[in-house]
Structure 1
Amino acid sequence: MSSVISADGTAIAYTRIGQGPAVVLVDGAMCFRRMGPAGPLARQLADRFTVWTYDRRGRGESGDTAPYSVEREVEDLDALIKEAGGDVYLYGISSGAVLACDAAARLGGIRKLAVYEPPFIVDGTHEPRPDDYLDRMDAMIAQGRRGDAVATFMRTVGMPAFLVALFRLMPNWPKLKRVAHTLPYDFRVLGDTGAGRPLNAQRWAGAQLPALVMDGGKSPQYMRNAAKALAGALPQAEYRTLPGQTHLLKPEAVAPVLKEWFA
Structure 2
Amino acid sequence: MDKTLSRDGTTIAYRRQGGGPPLILVGGALSTAATEAPLAALLAPHFTVVTYDRRGRGSSGDGGPYAMGREIEDLAAVIGEAGGAASVFGMLSGGALALEAQAAGLPVDLLAVYEPPYTPGPGGLLYKARCTTRLHRLLSAGDRGGAVQLFLSMTGVQDETIGRMRHAPLWHGLESVAHTLAYDDALLGNGTVPAERLASVTARTLVICGGFSPARVRATTQALADAVPRGRHRTLTGQTRDLAPQVIAPVLADFFAKDMSLRQAS
Common topology (TM > 0.5): yes
Bigger mean CA offset, 139-148 vs 6-15: 139-148
What residue is the counterpart of 1:206 in the other structure?
A: 200
**How far did residue 139 of structure 1 move?**
2.5
Deviation at 1:109, TM superposition (A): 1.7
Q: Deviations over 1:102-132 (max 9, x none)?
A: 0110123212000001112224786842524
Name the residue aligned to 1:227: 221
Partner residue of 2:22? Answer: 22
1:260 is aligned to 254
CA RMSD in angstroms comes to 1.5
Report the equivalent of 2:31. Answer: 31
Q: Is the 8 A contact 1:126 1:222 kept in 2?
A: no
Match of 1:89 among 67, 87, 91: 87
CA distance in 2, matches of 1:251, 1:238: 21
Q: How much does 1:177 deviate?
A: 0.4
Letter in 1 for 2:198: W
- Range moving further from structure 2, 25-34 or 162-171: 162-171
Determine if contact 1:211/1:236 at 8 Å carries over to the other structure. yes
Q: CA deviation at 1:226?
A: 1.2
Report the alpha carbon displacement of residue 8 of structure 1 after superposing the two structures with TM: 0.3
Q: Does 1:5 align with 2:5?
A: yes
Could you state the TM-score of these two structures normalised by the residue count of structure 2?
Answer: 0.93
Mind listing any 5+ residue stretches in structure 2 that lack a counterpart?
258-266
Q: Corresponding residue for 2:260?
A: none
Amino acid at match of 2:69: E
Q: Which amino acid aligns with 1:76?
A: D
- Structure 1 residue runs without a partner (length 5+): none
Identical positions, percent: 44
Residue of structure 1 equivalent to 2:62: 64
Deviation by residue 1:118-158 (Cα, 9 ceiling, x = unmatched): 11222478684252432331222222100000011111112
Contact 2:109 2:202 in 1 (8 A): no
TM value normalised by structure 1: 0.94
Secondary structure at the residue paired with 2:223?
A: helix
Aligned length: 257
Aligned twin of 1:51: 49
2:236 to 224, 238, 242: 242
Q: Which residue of 1 aligns with 2:109?
A: 111
